[in-house]
Amino acid sequence: MLACKVDLPKTLSHDFGQRSVVATHDLAGHSLFTDRALCALLDDFPRQHLYAFTMGDDVMRPEENRLASTEGVSGAELLEAVRHGRFWLNLTRIDRVDVRFRKLIDTLYAQLTRLAPHFQPMSCQGALVISSPQALVYYHADAPGNMLWHIRGRKRFWVYPALDERYLQREILEDIFAGVRHEYVPYEASYDEGAICYDIEPGQWAAWPHNAPHRVTNIEGLNVSLATEHFTAATLRRQRVYVANRFLRTRLGWKNPSTREDGAVATLKTVVHRAVARIGLDPLQYKRYAPVLRINAQAPGGVTALSDAKSLPA
Ligand SMILES: [Fe+2]
């Protein structure tokens, strides 16, 4: 295992998983995250698992989120473009690509489970996120339990109440769990009155309740974070109930099936749904983005239209 240290004050231990928690780690300055290491990582990273997304200025308009191709762009050019442009690079499932990250994530979670013994992850995985100084991440909710290990730059983070239909309709969460829509969800500025907002510095980690909507705006510098996901008996149970409810709602016309996650009815729904899904009676159309831009370190914003890519300096 890689040497690293996670801190979680005893007073926050019980809050982990239930409330938003910010504590510290010692990964800022680690050799895995220097410019040189990031360039090498990007050069070697399989491009089909690397996503570059640009964004607009308006947090209300997630439709301005656009996928940019990184094909043929070197690691050094990608880093240059993200430093001076306005987009983020998502090195998905880096734990599967680079064994150092597999070991690092295992070490982080081993320490977490010692610090918060009620936390019992069955598996964990992660992505490395590198984002521009002025980048933002639109209001969204994630299907797995997740958290952020912040390493470089500064960002502002808003977390909203979980499983509260004033902030996220249950039908949308069902779709997110089923993988049939992108995580971005409808947002209104008034939601901020119910949010917890904090700034995150290098050397801090943040966790929030499962499925709590959140959004991020970078404040300063090239931002580098490890975004990890974990699966527990509880997160998997919720996923199965919501996906089963989606089936009941969309295929059988049930109105508002219960979101209760324990008990005989919940178990029966999930068992029946898994059986019908196995025989192909709940086909799902997974959402995919298509690239419309290309990363170009010489272009303003670090991107150019895909069709114009060849006319700009390489
Ligand atoms: Fe997220």
In order, the DSSP letters of 205-260 are EEE--TT--EEEEEEEEEEEEEEEEEE-HHHHHHHHHHHHHHHHHHHS--SS----
Crossing angle of the two packed helices 75-84 and 35-44, in degrees rounded to 10: 120
Which amino acid makes up residue 29? G
**Dihedral-angle region of residue 226 (phi above 0 means left; psi in -120 to 50 means alpha; beta otherwise):** beta
**In this predicted structure, what is the pLDDT of residue 59?**
92
Average pLDDT value for the chain:
92
Q: Please give the distance, rounded to the nearest whole angstrom, from the Cα atom of residue 137 to the centre of ligand 1.
A: 8
SS3 272: helix
User: Shortest CA distance to 39 belongs to which of 80, 76, 72?
Assistant: 76
Task: Cite the beta strand spans of the chain per DSSP E.
Answer: 21-24, 50-54, 66-69, 87-91, 123-131, 136-140, 145-159, 196-200, 204-207, 214-231, 293-295, 303-305
Please give the Cα distance from 181 to 214 (Å, whole number). Answer: 17
The residues, ordered by sequence, that sit 6+ positions from 20 with a Cβ below 8 Å of its Cβ are 159, 196, 198, 206, 207, 208, 209, 212
**191 is written with which tokens?**
């939601």
Which residue, 103, 92, 98, 257, is CA-closest to 174? 257
Rounded CA-CA distance 310/299 in Å is 12
Q: pLDDT at position 283, please?
A: 79
Burial class (CB in 10 A: 0-12, 13-18, 19+), 197: exposed
110 alpha carbon – ligand 1 mean position (Å): 22
What pLDDT, on a 0 to 100 scale, did the predictor assign at position 310? 47
Whole-number Cα distances in Å, 258 to 59, 245, 250: 32, 8, 14
Give the pLDDT confidence score for residue 313 in this predicted structure: 41
Farthest-apart Cα atoms in the chain, separation: 63
pLDDT at 279: 85
C-alpha 193 to ligand 1 mean position (Å): 20
CA of 26 to the centre of ligand 1 (A): 22
d(CA 288, ligand 1 centre) in Å: 17
Q: Which stretches of the chain score pLDDT less than 50? A: 309-314
- The confidence score (pLDDT) of residue 182 equals 75
Q: Quick: pLDDT tens for 107-117.
A: 999 999 999 99
| Distance from residue 49's CA to the centre of ligand 1 (Å) | 17
* Per-residue pLDDT at 2: 65
Distance between Cα 163 and ligand 1 center (Å): 15
Q: Check residue 16 and report its DSSP letter.
A: B
Cα separation, 30 vs 261, whole angstroms: 40
CA of 33 to the centre of ligand 1 (A): 21
What is the pLDDT, as a whole number, of residue 308? 54
Long-range pairs, 263-270, Cβ under 8 A, ≥24: 266/237, 266/241, 269/241, 269/244, 269/245, 270/237, 270/240, 270/241, 270/244
What are the pLDDT digits (tens) for 125-152?
Answer: 999 999 999 999 999 999 999 999 999 9
Query: Which pTM value belongs to this model?
Result: 0.92
Ligand 1 centroid – CA 222 distance (Å): 18
